[in-house]
Structure 1
């Protein structure tokens, strides 16, 4: 270990798996970001001085003497009204090559709103889609699962909901989108002239799967800014939560955690709940409503992912 400009640089890694590295380090916080051999990583486990980091792009090319530098803070998103109309990656960096964001840097993945401060959801979000408005009415502050077969055009339906919904802001969190789906969302939003009320965080199939774990928290941090600070009605669209859960499984399996049902981590319920429970109707009139796609493998509604999702969302 050496120290450079008051920053500790560790050069001894004790264990390397396909997705994680473990080393001895002190003064490190949970969820803190780090750079491992030039690759971005995040602290996922601390046992005494043994620190385990998940490396977002995978550990290929990392050696036991690769440099590890801790950043001293967890992932953050710069929030401002300038978020609207932009496409970002899982780290909150502009995708379209535009200017970097100015604004207040806020930690992602914070706590949910105290139930005491919530109001009973009662306001309709009209979508103009009869099957939804008549049979499955969306109310502000709800968390709504959208179970779909992988072969169904669920992203087209989500884009349709985004354009028609009577909401102040639409936040799209895309996880494992194909490039075709990403371009589809982009073109549909641009052609409809709706970009001024849409914020998108996108992880495509070309990006490392583990990066998907950041997308919902990025999307919900943006949603909280508009709902809590600005008192706006925000609709969050998350697609696809099955690919998010698969990324959770990748990390937990690489950490040799004992898998639960369907090879999912034992923490799956909590991991999903901390996302869905961000749905809220606030006293100031602001609200966060979440519609999340969960694709079903072979139509199996009993799989751990839809099973847990149904419990959390009462879906």
Structure 2
């Protein structure tokens, strides 16, 4: 990562664990992004001038004199119409071979929506599965978590729910998915002609597991 002239470079790391490193720094904020020897990291704790960074890809190979540069901003996403039909990683970067979308840059993890001012979800999403439609009815506008045993066809159910929902956009956040899972959703939505309604944020089993904590905030930011 190229540094700007006004960015201060720190070169004294005081502690390194498997996923985090600590150093003394000033003028940084919570959730701020940083580069540690070229690896992306995020501020997770500040006590006085002692700053702890979570390194997304792990600290293996990082030395105590590694260069640390703070970026001055939290993780963000460029929101706009160009997100439609696209697949992104946990950082909001395209993984489908398409161009980087343009739009208004919005920091993820912002303040929650006031539930009193939020439009009450009321439009039914019919899945055709009696156990869901009768006992755990889904409605447009709500976050829908799926928990299932490994031998259950959860991918097929999720894709069916997304395709049946009568809404402008469907936001899919996948954490720890296999590449086969990712390709299943991409091909299913494409074959159904519904790709322009889908915005997906995917973390696969080949990606660092720590990155998965960004997926829910990316999905909510896009929504």
1:224-252 deviation per Cα after TM superposition (whole angstroms, max 9, x unaligned)? xxxxxxxxxxxxxxxxxxxxxxxxxxxxx
| Match of residue 165 from structure 1 | 165
1:71-120 deviation per Cα after TM superposition (whole angstroms, max 9, x unaligned)? 00000000001100001011001112211111100000111111331344
CA contact 2:140–2:165 (8 Å) conserved in 1:
no
Given the alignment of the two structures, is residue 122 of structure 1 paired with residue 111 of structure 2, yes or no? no
| Match of residue 17 from structure 1 | 17
Q: CA deviation at 1:128?
A: 4.1
CA contact 1:89–1:203 (8 Å) conserved in 2:
yes
| Match of residue 181 from structure 2 | 181
CA contact 2:126–2:161 (8 Å) conserved in 1:
no
| Match of residue 112 from structure 1 | 112
Using the alignment, how far apart are the partners of 1:197 and 1:48 within structure 2?
46
Using the alignment, how far apart are the partners of 1:101 and 1:141 within structure 2?
24
Compare the two structures and name the one with the higher helix fraction.
1
- Inter-CA distance 195–142: structure 2 relative to 1 (3 Å threshold): closer
| Match of residue 103 from structure 2 | 103
What secondary structure is seen at the aligned counterpart in 1 of 2:116?
A: helix
Q: Report the TM-score when normalising by structure 2.
A: 0.93
Q: CA deviation at 1:147?
A: 3.1
| Match of residue 60 from structure 2 | 60
Using the alignment, how far apart are the partners of 2:73 and 2:103 within structure 1?
17
Using the alignment, how far apart are the partners of 2:117 and 2:202 within structure 1?
31
CA contact 1:36–1:67 (8 Å) conserved in 2:
yes
1:130-169 deviation per Cα after TM superposition (whole angstroms, max 9, x unaligned)? 4433443212344454331133221221111111222211
Using the alignment, how far apart are the partners of 1:96 and 1:66 within structure 2?
33
* Long gaps (5+) in structure 1: 224-315
1:21-57 deviation per Cα after TM superposition (whole angstroms, max 9, x unaligned)? 1000000010000000000000000000000000000
Q: How many pairs are equivalent?
A: 221
